[in-house]
Amino acid sequence: MARPRKIRQVQFPPRYNSFKPCGVPSQGLSKIELTLDEYEALRLVDEQQLDHETAAAIMEVSRPTVTRLVESAHNKVARLLVRGGMLVIQGGDYQLNGHLYHCPKCRNFQERLQKIRTANQPCPQCKESHLVEISLPGARQ
């Protein structure tokens, strides 16, 4: 009997969830999907430079699972760079734990563990606009 897949813990949603070559219309570009759990493994291991053991503890999965997620993410990002295409970050078995806000005026990003009331929260950087929460369709919160 197959073991049920564990829900992977993801701290914050990505700031941007799609990438494509500059000046190339998205029509006709092949779509490469990076799942949220692959994105989180890539962020922890390559951007934050944590070892696989530490990343596994944060995501609440086994170390081999982190290794598989990172390898899969590397393969997709390499394919995107070499062949071109549209990278879309979506899907996967994950639970989102934090909240990401951004200012539409100065593009400042704020990562918060607790949800904030955006209507009352002026941007801490420019103070001219209110923060907007970046949410992901279908994300468990």
The residues binding Zn ion (CB under 5 A) are 103, 105-106, 108, 123, 125-126
DSSP string, 58-100: HHTS-HHHHHHHHHHHHHHHHHHHHH--EEEE--SSEEE-SEE
Supply the minimum distance, in Å, between the C-beta of residue 14 and Zn ion.
20
Angle at which helix 52-59 crosses helix 63-83, to 10 degrees, equals 100
Chain-centroid distance, C-alpha 52? 18
Supply the minimum distance, in Å, between the C-beta of residue 139 and Zn ion.
24
Side chain identity at residue 10, one-letter code? V
Residue 67 or 125: the one with the smaller Cβ distance to Zn ion is 125
Supply the minimum distance, in Å, between the C-beta of residue 65 and Zn ion.
38
Residue 16 or 28: the one with the smaller Cβ distance to Zn ion is 16
Supply the minimum distance, in Å, between the C-beta of residue 131 and Zn ion.
8
Alpha-carbon span 87 to 29, nearest angstrom: 10
Residue 90 or 121: the one with the smaller Cβ distance to Zn ion is 121
Residue 126 or 139: the one with the smaller Cβ distance to Zn ion is 126
